[in-house]
Amino acid sequence: MSYLGRCYKWSNINGCMEAQDKFVRQYVNALAGDYEAQGDVASAFMDGENDDDPNGGPVIPNKLQACAWRQVIAASGSAYLTPHDQSSMVSDCDGLRSMDIEAAKGRAHAIAYVITNAHVRRVRVPELEYDPKSGKDETQADQD
């Protein structure tokens, strides 16, 4: 998947590869129409925006893709939509040139077409690795 960054630049290469695996699974689920996964994918495209090396994280930052996914979410008609979804779309699309906004609209239409017509099946995404015997609660375990 061309959206994945170069994990070898991370000090925790296994953590990076696990994040990439989760992103790929979330991407599949987003294409299956999963509202939460769509938001996770859009966020993943924005998360690396301020990294020193734009290709060094699990997912290569791509504001155009983030904007497109936010447009898909906003137009989805999901029962879970909130005003936050609209503000996230405005925020993620802010600063794009007009030609990039048009490209994001085209990408959003292509994504929506796949969601509607391709009948992608959801895949399991591990939420977090948690061992109750570790003595930590779930939030502490997620920060390791």
Residue 2 in domain: no
pTM of the prediction? 0.81
69-79 residue pLDDT tens: 999 999 999 99
Residue 46 in domain: yes
Residue 51 in domain: yes
Residue 74 in domain: yes
- What is the residue whose two structure tokens read 């859009």? 42
pLDDT beyond 60 at 28: yes
Phi, psi of 102 (to 5 degrees): -65, -40
Q: C-alpha angle 37/41/45, rounded to 5°?
A: 170
Range of the domain at 18: 7-119
Instruction: Count CB neighbours of 100 within 10 A.
Output: 15
Distance, CA of 24 to CA of 1 (rounded, Å): 8
Residue 15 in domain: yes
Q: Per-residue pLDDT averaged across 80-95, rounded?
A: 94
* pLDDT for position 109: 98
Residue 131 in domain: no
Residue 89 in domain: yes
Residue 38 in domain: yes
In the chain, how many domains are there?
1
